Amino acid sequence: MKSSIIGILLVVSAAFAEERVEFRCGFDKPESTPAGPGRIVTGFQSTPSLQIVLAEPGTATRSFPIPADALTDPYITLRAVVRADAVSTPPNPWNGIKVMLVLQTADGPQYPQIPIPVGSFDWRPFVHSFRRPDSLRSATLVVGLESVKGTVAFDDLQVASGRPPRKGLRYDAPFPGHALDRLRGVMYGPTCRPDDLRNLARVWKANMVRWQLNWEPMDKATQWATDLTAFDNWLQTALKQCDDGVRICKEEGLLVLVDLHCPPGGRLDGGTCRLFQDKKYQDYFLEVWPKIALRYKDAANVYAFDLLNEAVEGPVAAGLMNWRDLATEATRRIRAVDPDRAVVFEPSPWGSAFGFETLEPLPLEKVIYSFHMYEPFQFTHQTLYNNPGPVSYPGAIAGATWNRARIAEVFRPVREFQQEFNVQIFVGEFSAIRWAPGDSARDWLADVIDLMEEYRWDWSYHAYREWDGWSVEHGPDRNDTRPAAEPTPRMKQLLDWFSRNQKP
């Protein structure tokens, strides 16, 4: 399928005002700066700056009250100019150099902050925009060091109402990467089981699979993947399974999205990809994707490549590319091998919907944008990861009312991005645990799918014949790990939508 592009277009949604600075501190008047650790030194552009030094790991911050009543736009933007010298590696991704807002809301505090790398770097500007909480009561800007040692200096602190205007390629027509009315399928892999794929195509009537190149078990793979030789050996084995799957899928009329599910280098605690901390992992990433592209260049039913599952940048180390730039370069290298191949891009962090709030499109054609839907996490993952249970949907969950309207609100950043840039959206994962009370999981799926269909998004359910907790073939009894004798309400719902599929 061919798309045309209207070139570089400055897109400013009429719903949002341009940035309006509500607070600024350049430290030119030390007497008006709140007291706290550190001292005023001659710094950025030979003007006064705040410097904080810690000889041993610890925390030293200063706080600045912000007029929350002035932050009326749907977005808030933080800006700062920062210099660092030998700042140590933090114990958690959220520690380190802090330029953070503490927002008090009716639902509890929130802590949006600028992702800033550690180590050493000269004066650099940083910016971070995010959606304003609906029930914002107060705001405090916090800057300094947290749980680290080293030297940091700050200047030109700004808190603005609004966000920078987004620039990017606006497609003349959405590019889905296929010629069908809609893709409705499942996540699958990394092992090829031909009978399962034939059942998916012939009985379930799905028309696509998101094929995971996934190193299992995932928790151990976060460390295994630090060894690039071991990673490459695993990947070659996984690709052989994918080869078999692509062949079966072609016979059965299933399109395939090849998904690099395990990042080279794995992940740090908290999920940050080492890909953004060590150049050798970025180099490998850029080398391996054109090899994968060459492997599937003649596979017509491989309609796209999902560049990386749920990237998490964290503070990007000096000299490395952020996720958008890295994905752009990887796509260019893929296109050098296969000019017409579509790619799928999931924003950081975690391929989440809120990753679209300030995202600018990749400066390339034939890009499909994707996210994953597990909100509210306390419902979809109840009894997992220390979440309580039972939790019902619709209803009050984690202090908020969750229903179809609330899900539409989660989807809003994606929908706005879709409309501003006229791009195709693919929902790569969505699911709710099968032992949610009563028909809660079915009701949640109904609202999620109805909205995806209304917005004409392609989608794949998580997951098909993996862990039984996500299986629509299993009933609500957590202790019963056998498939149900009759189709469950959740399975009936999926099969109803799959029955409307066109086949390639």
Contact 410, 375 (CB under 8 A): yes
Contact 442, 434 (CB under 8 A): no
State how far the alpha carbon of 408 is from the alpha carbons of 39, 84, 285, 380, 413, in Å: 47, 41, 35, 16, 10
Chain segment 229-284, per-residue pLDDT in tens: 999 999 999 999 999 999 999 999 999 999 999 999 999 988 999 999 999 999 99
Q: Which residues of 44-66 are buried (b: 16+ CB within 10 A; e: fewer)?
A: beeebbbbbebeebeebbbebeb
Chain segment 49-88, per-residue pLDDT in tens: 999 999 999 999 999 999 999 999 999 999 999 999 999 9
Give the model's pLDDT for residue 11: 44
247, containing H or E segment:
helix 228-252
User: Which residue ranges make up each domain of the chain?
Assistant: 20-164, 174-498
Distance between CA atoms of 71 and 162, rounded to whole angstroms? Answer: 8
Q: What percent of the chain has pLDDT over 70?
A: 97
Distance between CA atoms of 411 and 327, rounded to whole angstroms? Answer: 23
- List phi, psi (to 5°) of 242: -65, -40
Q: Is 217 strand, coil or helix? A: coil
Q: Which residues of 298-309 are buried (b: 16+ CB within 10 A; e: fewer)?
A: ebebbbbbbbbb
Residue 499: count of CB within 10 angstroms of its CB = 10
Residue 9 has pLDDT above 50, yes or no: no
Give the model's pLDDT for residue 400: 87
- Rounded average pLDDT over 213-230: 96
Chain segment 90-130, per-residue pLDDT in tens: 998 889 999 999 999 988 899 999 999 999 999 999 999 99
Q: What is the DSSP string of 414-463?
A: HHHHHHHHT--EEEEEE---TTSSTTHHHHHHHHHHHHHHHTT-EEEES-
Q: Is 80 strand, coil or helix? A: strand
Residue 2 has pLDDT above 80, yes or no: no
Q: What is the DSSP string of 157-169?
A: EEEEES-PPEEEE
Contact 169, 365 (CB under 8 A): yes
The CATH number given to 20-164 is 2.60.120.260
Chain segment 492-501, per-residue pLDDT in tens: 999 999 999 9
Residue 96: count of CB within 10 angstroms of its CB = 26
Is 174-498 assigned to CATH 3.40.50.300? no
Residue 437 has pLDDT above 80, yes or no: yes
Give the model's pLDDT for residue 17: 56
Chain segment 415-435, per-residue pLDDT in tens: 999 999 999 999 999 999 999
User: If you search the block for the tokens 């277009």, which residue do you land on?
Assistant: 9
Structure confidence at residue 14 as a pLDDT band (50, 70, 90): very low
Chain segment 466-492, per-residue pLDDT in tens: 999 999 999 999 999 999 999 999 999
| Tokens (6 digits) for 416 | 């706005």
CA-wise closest residue to 157 among 42, 48, 46: 48
CA-wise closest residue to 246 among 296, 180, 177, 288: 296
151, containing H or E segment:
strand 136-161
- Whole-model pTM: value is 0.89
Chain segment 390-402, per-residue pLDDT in tens: 999 999 998 889 9
Structure confidence at residue 29 as a pLDDT band (50, 70, 90): confident
Q: Where are the beta strands (DSSP E) in 179-237?
A: 184-188, 208-213
